[in-house]
Each structure stands twice: as structure tokens, then as C-alpha cells.
Structure 1
Amino acid sequence: MQQTDGERVILVSVSVQSLEDLDADEFALLTKSAGAEILQHLYVHKIRPDAKLFVGSGKAEEIALFVEELEANLVIFDHALTPAQARNLEKIMKCRVVDRTELILDIFAQRARTYEGKLQVELAQLHHLSSRLIRSRGTLDSQKGGIGLRGPGETLLETDRRLLKIRMGQLKTKLDKVRQTRQQGRVARQKAAIPTVSLVGYTNAGKSTLFNILAKSDVYAADQLFATLDPTLRRLDWDGIGSLVLADTVGFVRNLSHSLVESFKATLEETLEATLLLHIIDSSSPEMLEQIEAVDKVLSEIGADVPIIRVYNKIDQSHENAKIIYAKEHQPDRVYLSAHTGEGLDLLRQAVHESLMGQIQSFNLCLKPAYGKLRTQLYALNVIQSEQYDDEGNLHIEVIMAPHKIEHLIKKLHLPLDEILGEKAKNFQPVLEEFELKD
């Protein structure tokens, strides 16, 4: 679908018993996100799709009358059409006919801003086009004849397919280079022990709004589908954890074709390589369960085996209370919040902390004047609750953080664990030995 100003559209939602019923409101929102003007939204019920026209000849003629009466220049179907079905429908309706996949591709083409995003959109478009190369020209069995040019020849259709294949190969090579660059960045972060937290979820669930709040960023966020297409990464300091990378990814949608998912693998690799996934869910949506299922399906398709916290956003609209629900002790499973009002954001930070760092405890540390470097690192983590000096000049600090994190800091600076932690140091010996073996 090549978008132009003033596109006048008729939508056709088809309910077929043998196929998944899709959300008609979401279909309309997709169309508006593409910038089109919706003239009419028609609903069709079928027991099974018609092989020639998908909707049957009678309904196709009825849609054609609407096209003529409303002066529409485009008809969009909320299901995948075969090339033959699209061609047959265009003959009857005398205007362009596109399906759901082409609509999503058009939105992707409008949203892509980065070099990587544009490469992925073009690859997805060519992959879709390769199955729709239908020529209705005359005898084009061979391109030329004559001395030195005779031979089996090549049809125009074969030429187009060959050129498409060459271009797709070039795009895949360029995307492989992008993947290699991303992989180098991930390896560097892993060596520096910097965790990555990726936001995933259904499109328009509020990922970018939440990302902007957590990262203090200005990523484009709007109440429209696929507002974010290109992956965005920000490095930030998280209280009690230190440095981490926060990643915002493209939103998922139901009935997203496998070829589209495959084309956006480079973007989705940020999801595969994450330390933790935050699955952002629109808790106010009547289609919430179906949207969760759609995201889980895509995550399964790309082989994402990463710990997940489900974040139920927009509780200001669903009238839920901000809370954390645990799968078991110190293992957060769900967080309820509102990115719009800020309610529950502290709970999300706590849940991420617990998921990445384990159980949070309170410790009273005794630092000699020579241990100032440890105090500096604790301040950088923003975990110090209080501090005071005793008569001997030692600094007593109360901190709240994960046990293995504080132990690792003390070990890294080669300071005496028992002197700083006192009696609690006895609980750390096995863990300390494990760190020593790893390092």
C-alpha cells in the first residue's frame, strides 16, 4: 500500500468460522495510523473463504457499489488475501485492494527512521511482493532474439523474480552487518556485567511512555499503533543495581505474518539477548487476554527464553490498585501501575531490582576511614539509607540492597568481609567462594 494524501478507504472485516476473528476496532485504528480516511466499515460473515474472491461474488458486487457511491480509491481487507483474490477483487471494484499485511507494511514504511529500520521494512515489502508478481502481458517468453542472443530466454516474470532475489540478498547482507554491530555491543555489555531490560508488548500498550519515564528520554510516544518501530536503547543508573541498558522495541500485533516477524529479527534480537523482559500490557483493553496471547506467541516464535515480568499498565483507566504479585518469595511475576499518572512506578523499580539482584535486605556496615572507596560506590548505587560516625572515626552505614551485590562490591575492593559486615559475614562465605571461582 503506497500511502498518499487523501486516501479514501472502505474497510472490510470478514468473520470466518475457520479463521481467527480479529478486532474490528483495532483494524480501524491501524488504518487511521496509516493516515487514511475511513468512508465505510463493512462486516461480512462467511462459513469458509471463497477461493476466488474471499467474500463471494454477491458481496464483492455490493462492496463495488459502495466504492462507486462513496468515490473510494482503496479497499482494505482485515485478512490475508492471495494474489489471485486481490487481482479478482480489483477487477470488480475498479480500485486498489490490499490486505492486512500490506496495511501494516505501509505503517512500518512511514514509521521507519533509522538505517536499520528502513532496511527491514524494504526486506519485508520485497518478501511480500515476491509472492505477488503477476504479469498480464502478452508473449514475453524471451527477452530478445538474434545472433548471439538466442537461447531459452527469460520471461519478464522470471526477470523480476531474479532481480527481487538479488535485492533481498543485498538487504540481508546489510542486516547481517547490523546484527554483528549489535552483537559487539551486547558482548561489551556482558563483559562489563551490564544487564539489559527490554520492554515488549502489544502495540499501543504504553511501552514508549514508560520507557521515557524510566530513561528520562523523549522517544516518540502517541496513542496510535506502531508509534515506535525502531529499537531504542538507553544506558541509565538504576538504584541498587548500577548501570543497565533499557531497550524499547516494536509493538506486536495479532495475525502478524511470519515473514514480517522474520524480517524484523534484527530488532527483536534485543528481546532475545535481554537479561529481563518487561511485558507491558494495556489493562484497560477489552482484548487484553488476546493481546497477551499474541505477544506470547511471537516471543515463542523468535525463541525468547528470558525471565519475564508482566506489567499491567493504564490502571488509571481499569481502576486497579498499584501492587506487585509474586510467583514465589522475592520473585515478582506481575506489577500493576500507570505510566500516565506515575502510580506504581516505584513498585516496578523494586520488582526489577529483585528480579535482577535477588532478595533485598538491610545491612549495617562499619567502614574504616581507609574504606572510602566502598562508600563512594554505595552512593553511586543510591542504596545508602543513613550514616553516622562513631567516636573512633569509623563510619556506620545502613544500606538496602541484594546480599550478593554487596558481597561482590566488598570482594572486588579486597576488603575484609567480616570486619565490614560483622556477624552477617558468616552467611556469605559459600557465595564468596562461588564469586572467586567465577572471577
Structure 2
Amino acid sequence: MDIEKVLLMAIMHQQDREEQFYDSLQELEALVKTAQGVVIDKIVQKRPSPHRRYYVGEGKLEVMKAIIVEKEIELVIANEELSGGQARSLQEELDIRVIDRSQLILDIFAARARTKEGKLQVELAQYTYVLPRLHGQGAALSRLGGGIGTRGPGETKLETDRRHIRNRMDDIKRRLKQVVNQREQYRENRRRQQLFQVAVVGYTNAGKSTLFNNLSKSDSFQEDQLFATLDPLSRKMKLPSHFEVLLTDTVGFIQDLPTALIAAFRSTLEEVREADLILHVIDAAASNRDKQERTVYHLLQELEADDIPVLTIYNKKDLIDEEHFVPSSYPYVLISALEDNSIHTVKQETERLMKEQWQHYRGFIPEENARKLAKIRQHTILDKEEYHESKEGYYVNGYVDPQHPIMREIKEFQQE
């Protein structure tokens, strides 16, 4: 796909803090890069509220027309959601495609979805977004051709009437319901196996997938792009005690994520709700680190996952001055996801937090109960195991999930 030349437009409202406003604009630029576009210029206007018809004022509209001709701009992107009327008026005046931040994010998701479920969820989110804005949209798309903001359902589908789109949405919802039921069965199997589940969450591009890969030694897609991971991925992770947990990578969170997208991806994000521990990865070098952190906590609250224990992982320590670093959340570790020492630190801290949640045990297992010992090695964090020849058995101590069925067997040999 050819790199498209993009003009950004944004309104700074009176209540906006200048630093946060420009952080948001920088993030929009990173989204454009992820969507295979290049930002050629930006139009920023201070207004109490957007222009009802054109989003920006008519004076700025004339400036934009000149920039579009002079710099051969192919696409205009607004930093906040446009109404259907605003998008149509702008396209008529500028004679090129105009989309908004939400459409751009949906477009990236459409390009990144790999699994059948992911593709269905994105398509549903795009239809949900486009349905109230449908009037005149099909004609505009036909005239202006493809490019950023047109991936997913496609032009011909958007030109069909509302009834067909609603039928398609109902069909997607039915198919997604089947996938959700399958996912629930997988979860139920994991619950039966009593696997300890760790979810990796974080703002997009914080380094989640790099950390996930190095913790689990897997090769999931990692790249310095927003939303590099879209479909949830689970792998086993071995802790320093050799105890194995299930590690799940999730889609990156972002401020102003389209509501339709949160709704569509709810079943995927619900993986987080099943977790026993959350690893919250934060880009320690991000200029708006605190805001990114708050965005993730807000979304965890929406998912009703805010009561799960969290280990905060400040990543990219090589890009900051460690001496002056002040964390906002505890417990935390400051790491570089590319360093082996850091990976070991995360595993150690994960194990420490598990021990805090679990119950300590110690006892003696006779040699003839070796099968029981094998189960204890598999299902508990075994801190110490010593064979005593004179007693013909093993002294053990460690930590166990008090809800795990193996607790019954531990009680048989447990010593005070």
C-alpha cells in the first residue's frame, strides 16, 4: 500500500491543558504512521467549541484548501470524533477524504486483526460507527476511492441500505456469540486445571509484547507500532521456582478508544477479568505517562477487573534518568523488557506476589508417596525439598493456592 499524505486538524478547547493537547496530537501522528500514512502538516485552532458545519472555522478551512493543493494532501484526519454532517461538509468543501480519530483507530484494527473473532469484532465496530453517519457516505467513498479509513467492510457494503447493514450486524453478533461460548469453554477448562493466570495489560506501545515474548520465550508479533497485538495470545511462563503459570497478552489500551470498539472487543478484553494477577506495563519514558496510566486503570474499572492484584512494570528504564524516577503505583519494578536481568526480576516479583496471596505449608512425605510429591511439584510453589535417608522421605515447604484441590492432600502430611 502506498504511503498517504495526511493533514491533521485539531481544536484546542478552553479546558484543554496545552501539554495534554499536544500529547494527544502526537499520538494521532503515531496512529497515522501505524496506518501507513505520513503527516505532512497540522492545522490547530483554539475555539470554545467545534464549528457546527466544518469542525474548524471558515478561515482555517481556506488555509486547509491551500495546503491541500500546495502539498498534494490525500487525506484529512480530525483529532476528535466528527458528526456525519461535519464529515460530509468537509469532504464537499475540500474534495478529498476526511476521517476522524475513531475511524483511524478502527482502520488500524481492521488491518491488524488476524483471527476470525478479531475480524468479526472489528467489522461489527465499524458498522456500529458508520450506521448513524451513513447518509451520503457511500457516494463520497465511491468518488474518492480506497486508502486509510476505508479498510474493513469496504465501499460496496457501505453503499447498501441500513436494513442490509443491520442484518449483517445481527449475523456477526450471532457468530460472535458462538465464539464467545467457545472462549468461555476454554476458560472453564483452564479453571478446572487450576492454572494461575497472569494478564499483561498496558497502554499501546508500552512494550507489552516484547515483555510477553521474553517472559514466555514465544515469538508473538512485536513492533514499534500502536496496536501491534490485537488478538489475545496465551503462553506458559516458568517462574524461578519452576512453577508454571499461564501468561496472556492483550490488546493495547488507548485514550479515547471508540466506544463501539470497546463494546466489540469486550469478550477479548474479558481475558483480563479471569486473571489472578495483572502485569501493568507502562512506558516510563512517555511524556504523558501519568495520563496513560490513568487511562488503563479507567478501562480496567470498566471491565470490572480493578479488584485484581496488580504489579506495575515501568518499562524502558534505559530511556530515563533512574535516579530521579518517581513511581505513581506500588508494588512496582523498573525494567527494560530487552534485558535478561529485568525479565528475571519480573518473574521473581510475580512469584513474590503469588506467595502473598497463597498459603504457606511444610511437611514430610514418605518415599512410598513419590507420586504425591510429583503433584506437589506441579501444583505448588516448592521453596525447599530435602531427602532424609534415615527417615526415608522428603521434607518439603512452599506455598499453595488454598482453593486448589491439592490442598486436601497437603493437609494429610502438613506439619505445624
Give the drift of 1:6: 3.2
Alignment map for 1:304-343 (pairs within 5 Å) = 304-305=305-306, 306-320=308-322, 333-343=331-341
Alignment map for 1:343-362 (pairs within 5 Å) = 343-358=341-356
| Aligned equivalents of 1:326, 1:378: Cα separation in 2 | 38
Alignment map for 1:372-383 (pairs within 5 Å) = 372-377=370-375, 379-380=377-378, 383=382
Alignment map for 1:47-196 (pairs within 5 Å) = 47-135=48-136, 160-196=161-197
| Aligned equivalents of 2:284, 2:208: Cα separation in 1 | 13
- With the length of structure 2 as denominator, give the TM-score of the two structures: 0.84
Counterpart contact for 1:359–1:403, Cα < 8 Å: no
> For this pair of structures, how many residues does the alignment match?
390
- After superposing the two structures, state which structure 1 stretch, 64-73 or 353-362, moved more: 353-362
| Aligned equivalents of 1:363, 1:127: Cα separation in 2 | 53
Give the drift of 1:63: 0.7
Cα offsets for 1:58-102 (capped at 9, x unmatched): 101101110011111111111111111111111221111110011
Matched residue, 2:147: none
Alignment map for 1:277-292 (pairs within 5 Å) = 277-292=278-293
| Aligned equivalents of 1:62, 1:347: Cα separation in 2 | 54
| Aligned equivalents of 2:160, 2:76: Cα separation in 1 | 30
2:287 maps to a residue whose letter is: P
| Aligned equivalents of 1:357, 1:383: Cα separation in 2 | 11
Task: Look up the SS of the partner of 1:64 in the other structure.
Answer: helix
Give the drift of 1:299: 1.9
Cα separation, partners in 2 of 1:386 and 1:194, compared to 1, 3 Å:
closer
Counterpart contact for 2:365–2:413, Cα < 8 Å: no
1:183 maps to a residue whose letter is: E
Matched residue, 1:274: 275
Alignment map for 1:245-264 (pairs within 5 Å) = 245-264=246-265
Which structure 2 residue ranges, 5 or more long, are not aligned? 140-157
Matched residue, 2:12: 15
- Alignment partner of 1:6 is 2:3: yes
Give the drift of 1:137: 11
| Aligned equivalents of 1:348, 1:158: Cα separation in 2 | 51
Cα separation, partners in 2 of 1:393 and 1:187, compared to 1, 3 Å:
closer
- After superposing the two structures, state which structure 1 stretch, 300-309 or 82-91, moved more: 300-309
| Aligned equivalents of 1:209, 1:137: Cα separation in 2 | 40
Cα separation, partners in 2 of 1:220 and 1:159, compared to 1, 3 Å:
closer
| Aligned equivalents of 1:84, 1:360: Cα separation in 2 | 57
Larger Rg: 1
1:174 maps to a residue whose letter is: R
| Aligned equivalents of 2:206, 2:138: Cα separation in 1 | 47
Cα offsets for 1:316-365 (capped at 9, x unmatched): 222338x9x999xxxx7222222122343333223322333427899875
Counterpart contact for 2:241–2:383, Cα < 8 Å: no
Give the drift of 1:374: 4.1
| Aligned equivalents of 1:159, 1:74: Cα separation in 2 | 24
Give the drift of 1:402: 2.1
Cα separation, partners in 2 of 1:102 and 1:410, compared to 1, 3 Å:
closer
Counterpart contact for 1:354–1:360, Cα < 8 Å: no
Task: Look up the SS of the partner of 1:383 in the other structure.
Answer: strand
| Aligned equivalents of 2:376, 2:400: Cα separation in 1 | 13
- Alignment partner of 1:402 is 2:399: yes
**Per chain length, whose mean CA-contact separation is higher, i.e. which structure has more relative contact order (CA < 8 Å, sep 6+)?**
2
Cα separation, partners in 2 of 1:414 and 1:223, compared to 1, 3 Å:
same
Task: Look up the SS of the partner of 1:217 in the other structure.
Answer: coil
Cα separation, partners in 2 of 1:136 and 1:198, compared to 1, 3 Å:
closer
- Alignment partner of 1:416 is 2:392: no
Give the drift of 1:32: 0.3
| Aligned equivalents of 1:95, 1:355: Cα separation in 2 | 54
Counterpart contact for 1:338–1:344, Cα < 8 Å: yes
- After superposing the two structures, state which structure 1 stretch, 42-51 or 350-359, moved more: 350-359
| Aligned equivalents of 1:295, 1:279: Cα separation in 2 | 8
Give the drift of 1:385: 5.0
- After superposing the two structures, state which structure 1 stretch, 247-256 or 339-348, moved more: 339-348
| Aligned equivalents of 1:394, 1:241: Cα separation in 2 | 22
Counterpart contact for 1:123–1:263, Cα < 8 Å: yes
Cα separation, partners in 2 of 1:275 and 1:251, compared to 1, 3 Å:
same
Cα separation, partners in 2 of 1:229 and 1:392, compared to 1, 3 Å:
closer
- After superposing the two structures, state which structure 1 stretch, 370-379 or 172-181, moved more: 370-379
- After superposing the two structures, state which structure 1 stretch, 298-307 or 265-274, moved more: 298-307
Matched residue, 2:366: 368
Give the drift of 1:133: 1.0
| Aligned equivalents of 1:374, 1:346: Cα separation in 2 | 29
| Aligned equivalents of 2:190, 2:333: Cα separation in 1 | 27
1:17 maps to a residue whose letter is: Q
1:15 maps to a residue whose letter is: M
Counterpart contact for 1:178–1:266, Cα < 8 Å: no
Cα separation, partners in 2 of 1:368 and 1:262, compared to 1, 3 Å:
same
| Aligned equivalents of 2:123, 2:322: Cα separation in 1 | 42
| Aligned equivalents of 2:328, 2:97: Cα separation in 1 | 52
- After superposing the two structures, state which structure 1 stretch, 285-294 or 41-50, moved more: 41-50
2:333 maps to a residue whose letter is: V
State the superposition RMSD in angstroms: 3.1
Matched residue, 1:34: 35
| Aligned equivalents of 1:241, 1:269: Cα separation in 2 | 28
Counterpart contact for 1:279–1:310, Cα < 8 Å: yes
- With the length of structure 1 as denominator, give the TM-score of the two structures: 0.80
1:8 maps to a residue whose letter is: K
| Aligned equivalents of 1:136, 1:168: Cα separation in 2 | 18
